[in-house]
Each structure stands twice: as C-alpha cells, then as structure tokens.
Chain A
Amino acid sequence: MPNLKDLKNRIESVKSTRKITKAMQMVAAAKLRKAQEAAEQARPYAEKMSIVIEKLAFSTNASSNSPLLVGNGKDKTHLIIVATSERGLCGAFNSSIVRLAKNHINHLISDGNHIKILTIGKKGREQLKRDFGDYMIEHVDLSEVKKISYDNASNISDNIISKFFDNEFDIATIFFNQFESVISQIPQSSQLIPIKFKSDELTNDDNISNFVYEPDEQEIIEDLLPKAISTKVFTALLENGASEQGARMSAMDNATRNAGEMIDKLTIQFNRSRQAAITNELIEIISGAEAL
C-alpha cells in the first residue's frame, strides 16, 4: 500500500496534467474556430474553380487534352502524398490517415505498382518510415507555418507537377482528413494527377457552348490546371488543419475527464489511507492506555 506522501504527490501530478490538457483543449478550441473559418472562406474558390475546369475539360477536344487532365497514359508509378500534423496529442488523427494510406499502398504494391511517398507533416513521416522508409522521396516541413497560406499549397503542388513532367510518377493521390465535426474526422484520399472531379458524368445541359473563350480553351486550361491542383492541395491542407484541431480538442477533453476521474479515485484512496493511519494510531493509544 502506497504511503500518504506518495499518494499526495500523485494527486498533485495528475492535477497539473489536467491543467495542461484543459489548457490545450481550450487552445485547440480557439484554433479550431480559426481553422474552420479559413476552410469556409476557401470553399467558394475551390467550388468555382472545379466548375470552370469541369466545363472546360468537357468542351475541349479530348485528343488534345493536357497530361494533367488525362494522365500520361501509364499507371504504374504512384505518388502517395500523406498530409498529417506536425504535432501530436491529437488522438487518432494521424493514425487514421496513415492507416488509410498504408492500406492503399499495400494494395498498390500487391498489384505490382511502384510507389513513391511524399509526406507533409512530421507525424505521418514518423509512422510511415517504419514500413515504407525506402519509398519516401520527400518531406514537406510545415512546422514553422502558423497559418497555412495558399503559397504553401502552391509550392507543394508546383513541386508535384514538376515531378510529374519529369516522369517520376504517373498518378498522384493525396491523403488527408476531411473535417466533419469535432468528434468525427474522416480520412480521405483524393486524386491530384490526373485531376479528378466529383461528378464524372457529362453535364451538357447548361450554356457551355455559348461561351466565348479568350484566348482559346486549350490555353486557358493549361493555365488553370496547375491552379486547380494547388487549390485541391490547399483544400486538403485546410481540412486537415481543422480536423487536427478538432481531434486534439476532443482528445484533450477526454484526457481532462480521465484525469478528473483519476483524481477522484486517488483522493478516495488517500482519504482511506489517512483514516486507516488515524485508526491505527488510536488503537495503539487505547491499547497502550489499557496496558497501564
């Protein structure tokens, strides 16, 4: 049985842990609001961009399409981009992305494909290094970045695109967490190159043909495709940012609650031990008095 001093120390230490987790939860809540706002504000651009590209993609002649749109005709080398967080203590946030990516990678390898991995965020790299260290080609460090800007995303996508034109890979897929709510973040994958859209079916109904394009469709789409890919990366990073804070908030909420429970238990144990000690002393005094 631990003595009173030890128990007291443990209660103190759990209390300070609870203070830390509580503070982290509140910080995460504040950051979550900002991250959600950023994701919200980025949505109109992403939506409009994908509408424009979709229209253009369907109206341009399929034979002269850009490789970014139709691929380079091969599908043997896959670039897997895994976006995770730079910091831990956010529950299953990173593991869930890594798990999805790992499944995908194993699946691709068993089908005889070549794999290259690009990681964004320290945590994902650490987890993937164990199994797929040989495949990792690059790491993007965003630990110095406080607020993710479009420039960060376009740097990443420029890098990816130039690799694509160097024939380093055929298909690029990004893995990230889609923010649903504070308690639910859904790990997702989204194909970057060749770029894919949500609706695959032809939408011929609206006034595509009425548009006059300046200069021509082909040139516009060449200009817009890299931007559309940057936008996709940016969206993924923002969703990830919001998810990370959400995951951290609920993880820290849990930790705070657990710490509270632990303190209650330890306090009961402490009180019992103290009472036992007092009773013991009383018995000793009484039996001492009786002996006289």
Chain B
Amino acid sequence: MSKELFNFELVTPEKVIVSGSVSSVSIAGVEGDMTIFANHSPIATAIRPGYIDINSDSKSEKYFLTGGFVQITGSDVVVLAEKASLENEVNLEMIEKIINRTKSSMEKATDLQKCVLAKKLNDLTIIKNQL
C-alpha cells in the first residue's frame, strides 16, 4: 500500500475536529462506502449517518457522523459534518434522539427532502440495532 499522504479536514459547525495529513479515509457515502487515498479523482458526495475512519501513519481515529458532505479535490479532502462524535461516545440514547428529530423534520418536508430523510432514518435504525 502506498504511503502517500493528503490533506484531510473534518469540520463541524462548532470547530475543526481533524486537520492534517493522513494516508487514508473511509467514509460511508450515500451511494456506498468508500476509502479515499491520495490523488483521488474529484468527487463530491453526501454522507449517510455512519462511521468515518481516519488513518495516518501513526494512528487511526474513528468518528461517528450524523450525516454530512465530503468534497474531494486534487489535493484536499474536506468533510463537512453537522455532528461528529468519537466512536466511544456513541450510545443508544444519542442515536434515538437523532432519529426522533429526523422523524419530526420529516413531517413538514417536501417530497424530495422526504426521500433524503427516509434514507437517513433507515441508516440510523441500522446503526441503532448494531449497538
């Protein structure tokens, strides 16, 4: 496996959580999981609720994201997430809270939004059952 590094940033509204050079990042994209290495082709995709694995030379970190967006340009990978929590901070109560919120926002959404939210709900339920 190549050890080429690229710039990675995990940004939430409240602060920049991770910023630095990493060797690979695994993301749960809406169209399927993917692992990004250096020199990935430009792509922008939404992220479904799930885990993100960040591997650099010395360490690897795992965060839970409630959803978000990743943008990959030639040299930079930026993940915009509404909320990121460390893997060990994830608990049933937290997931249920998010599920309830998603349900309530579904009531007043447009059709297209409902479609997005329904997928999200599905993913959250799967994660909940895994806990």
Q: Measured between alpha carbons, how far is A174 from B83 in the docked complex, in Å?
A: 24
A137 to chain B, nearest CB (A): 16
Q: Measured between alpha carbons, how far is A149 from B113 in the docked complex, in Å?
A: 24
Q: Measured between alpha carbons, how far is A213 from B11 in the docked complex, in Å?
A: 20
Residue pair A215, B108 in contact (C-beta under 8 Å): no
Residue on A with the closest CB to B71? Answer: A52
User: Which residue of A67, A158, A212, A223 is within 8 Å of B43 (Cβ)?
Assistant: A212
Q: Measured between alpha carbons, how far is A38 from B15 in the docked complex, in Å?
A: 8
Chain A residues in 8 Å Cβ range of B115: 219
Chain A residues in 8 Å Cβ range of B67: 223
Does A76 count as interface, using CB distance less than 8 angstroms? no
Q: Within B20-38, which residues are at the interface with A (CB < 8 Å)? A: 29-31
Residue pair A166, B108 in contact (C-beta under 8 Å): yes
Does B14 count as interface, using CB distance less than 8 angstroms? yes
Does B100 count as interface, using CB distance less than 8 angstroms? no
Q: Measured between alpha carbons, how far is A154 from B101 in the docked complex, in Å?
A: 11
B106 to chain A, nearest CB (A): 11
A35 to chain B, nearest CB (A): 13
Residue pair B112, A222 in contact (C-beta under 8 Å): yes
Residue pair B45, A222 in contact (C-beta under 8 Å): no
Q: Measured between alpha carbons, how far is A256 from B34 in the docked complex, in Å?
A: 60
Residue pair A45, B46 in contact (C-beta under 8 Å): no
User: Which residue of B13, B42, B80 is within 8 Å of A42 (Cβ)?
Assistant: B13
Does B61 count as interface, using CB distance less than 8 angstroms? no
A52 to chain B, nearest CB (A): 6
Chain B residues in 8 Å Cβ range of A85: none
Residue on A with the closest CB to B117? Answer: A223
Chain B residues in 8 Å Cβ range of A52: 44, 69, 71, 80
Residue pair B44, A219 in contact (C-beta under 8 Å): no
Chain B residues in 8 Å Cβ range of A222: 110, 112-113, 116
Does B60 count as interface, using CB distance less than 8 angstroms? no
Does B82 count as interface, using CB distance less than 8 angstroms? yes
Interface residues on B, range: 20 to 34
Residue pair B73, A207 in contact (C-beta under 8 Å): yes
Residue pair B16, A44 in contact (C-beta under 8 Å): yes
Does B12 count as interface, using CB distance less than 8 angstroms? yes
A177 to chain B, nearest CB (A): 20
Residue on A with the closest CB to B111? Answer: A222
User: Which residue of B13, B113, B116 is within 8 Å of A230 (Cβ)?
Assistant: B13
Residue on A with the closest CB to B104? Answer: A158
Residue pair A165, B44 in contact (C-beta under 8 Å): no
User: Which residue of B14, B73, B109 is within 8 Å of A149 (Cβ)?
Assistant: B14
A28 to chain B, nearest CB (A): 22
Q: Measured between alpha carbons, how far is A231 from B12 in the docked complex, in Å?
A: 10
Q: Measured between alpha carbons, how far is A227 from B44 in the docked complex, in Å?
A: 16
Residue pair A48, B11 in contact (C-beta under 8 Å): yes
Does A224 count as interface, using CB distance less than 8 angstroms? yes
Residue pair A214, B31 in contact (C-beta under 8 Å): yes
Residue pair B116, A211 in contact (C-beta under 8 Å): no
Chain B residues in 8 Å Cβ range of A45: 11-14, 16, 80
A72 to chain B, nearest CB (A): 11
In the complex where A41-B16, A162-B108 touch, is A49 in contact with B80 (Cβ < 8 A)? yes
Does A218 count as interface, using CB distance less than 8 angstroms? yes
Does B41 count as interface, using CB distance less than 8 angstroms? yes
- Residues of chain A having any CB pair with chain B under 8 Å: 38, 41-42, 44-46, 48-49, 52, 66-67, 149-150, 153-154, 158, 162, 165-166, 207, 210-215, 218-220, 222-224, 226-227, 230-231, 234
List 7 A-B residue pairs with CB atoms under 8 Å apart, sorted by A's residue number.
A149-B14, A207-B42, A212-B42, A219-B116, A223-B69, A227-B80, A231-B13
